[in-house]
Amino acid sequence: MGGGQAMNVGLGNLDKFAYIGSYSGAGARNFDVKTSYKGVFTDPDGFNKKVKLLWIGCGEGDSLHAGSLALHEALDKSGIHNVWFTGPGLHEWQVWRKHLNDFAPRLFRD
């Protein structure tokens, strides 16, 4: 279970999840804002009302970094609110600990 699964499960069940965090896994291949994740991003205003936090993080040395960054930039360009977090590191626990340190407090903000 990882960041990709968090995106699939969270975005596929917006009636149950308003907070979604993807740690080193959001780099969807061939991402298209209109069709990926079953078109959940086609209505930015509706999405932004439902989802309180879409958090995407990836270490700079991770092979998924470029895809994760591209996802974040495409979402920003489309008006989808999301948080991007990056820093040094690979696809490993030391990076994910930093991700959790940034992500967790955001769950309790208005």
First to last CA, the chain: 28
pLDDT in tens, 47-63: 999 999 999 999 999 99
CA atoms within 13 A on the CB side of 10: 23
d(CA 72, CA 69): 5
pLDDT at 90: 96
Domain residue limits at 40: 3-106
pLDDT at 30: 79
Do 106 and 55 touch, CB atoms closer than 8 A? yes
Q: Which residue has the higher pLDDT, 64 or 28?
A: 64
pLDDT at 110: 67
Instruction: Find the CATH number of the domain harbouring 28.
Output: 3.40.50.1820
CA atoms within 13 A on the CB side of 110: 0
Of 57, 55, 53, which Cα lies nearest the Cα of 23? 57
For residue 2, what pLDDT band results from cuts at 50, 70 and 90?
Answer: confident
Do 24 and 91 touch, CB atoms closer than 8 A? yes
What pTM does this model have?
0.94
Number of domains in the chain: 1
